[in-house]
A = this chain, B = another copy of it.
């Protein structure tokens, strides 16, 4: 294999998104013939111990606690902002000023005013800028766009979207930065509807009017450091929207942290003059598609599993029909095997089990041959 040119990455942040991004940078070269080989140069955070553990685990070469120093390093080509959203603006502008390419977690900033400033600066600087509304990169979502582009859905009439979680249903969940206005700015309108609105933009188009309804179901919660006291929840628990799109379609959005039983239930339905589409993140490899081109008597929503070679990204992973994520069973096997080598826990199935299976299979072929039941 021709050795790819290196591209140096710096990451700001090392929590959930820091992990997800690190995994992304690490996995690209094995599965995609990308034009660069990402070098995990430096990880940045304020909690030095946690940062060191993070860098060691994910293979970041260096650590740094002052993000301003990272941004200005000559040996960094790309900065990856995986920070909480209220910190995107200041760090982002610094990255842009330093002329680095910028891979930024969503939402881009706290306000559209901040975001506009970032966009204009990035454009002026001529850098590559990306905001990570990652669900655009599900193979099934890309297939939805492809079917729309092919004209199979026709003129669009309806978007019905939802992003439903349930982590606040328990009144004992304590206060946190996500529930305070100065750090989170808003609730699910920001962190959930931002995803669903981006998909609506991607699949339907621009929005020209918005009506919205929000609510707080539980107004006070225990403080994390002193559960005997309570703090006020400052952001909405749920946000509903009805919108008009520029192309005449109507849309609805529902974002909530109080949908009991829904953990990460991100869905859309699209209805048009020639067909319809539906998708659900909790079953993310599938797209539902109905076409009026089907004959009357054989028309219904098709359950498409977007894991064929013709589906974007799918061919980079595994053979057709092997859903994305199937490979994790192998990681689990290796993890357990290592425990067995260390003598911590035996691993099964072992060779004895391998023998058991073969005896049954052999009995099967013998029975097929003889037409008789074979007793083991």
Inter-subunit contact A133/B353 (CB<8 Å): yes
Q: Are B362 and A131 in contact (CB under 8 A)?
A: no
A364 proximity list for chain B (CB < 8 A): 189, 193, 210, 212, 239, 241
Interface pair B264/A115, CB less than 8 Å apart = no
Say whether B351 contacts A115, CB under 8 Å: yes
Pairwise interchain contact B211-A211, C-beta atoms closer than 8 A: yes
Q: What is the total number of residues of chain A having a CB less than 8 Å from a CB of chain B?
A: 200
Give min CB distance, A13 to chain B, whole Å.
14
Q: Mark A1-37, 1 if CB is under 8 A from B, else 0.
A: 1010001000000001001111111111111101110
Q: Is A58's CB within 8 Å of the partner chain B?
A: yes
- Name A169-186 residues within 8 Å CB distance of B: 169, 186
Task: From the candidates B252, B271, B326, name the one contacting A261 in the complex (CB within 8 A).
Answer: B271
Residues of B close to A264: CB separation below 8 A: 319-323
| B321-A282 in contact (CB<8A) | yes
**CB within 8 Å of B: which A123-164 residues:** 123, 128-138, 143, 146-147, 152, 155, 157-158, 160, 162, 164
Interface readout for A207-238 with B: 1 if CB under 8 Å, 0 if not? 11111111101000000000000000000101
Which of B115, B143, B263, B290 is within 8 Å of A320, CB to CB? B263
Query: Is A262 an interface position by the 8 A CB rule?
Result: yes
A116, A119, A302 — which one has the most chain B CB atoms within 10 A of its CB? A302
Q: Chain B residues near A87 (CB, 8 Å)?
A: none
Those 7 A-B pairs whose CB atoms lie nearest each other, nearest first: A325-B325, A263-B321, A108-B354, A264-B321, A261-B290, A24-B330, A371-B373
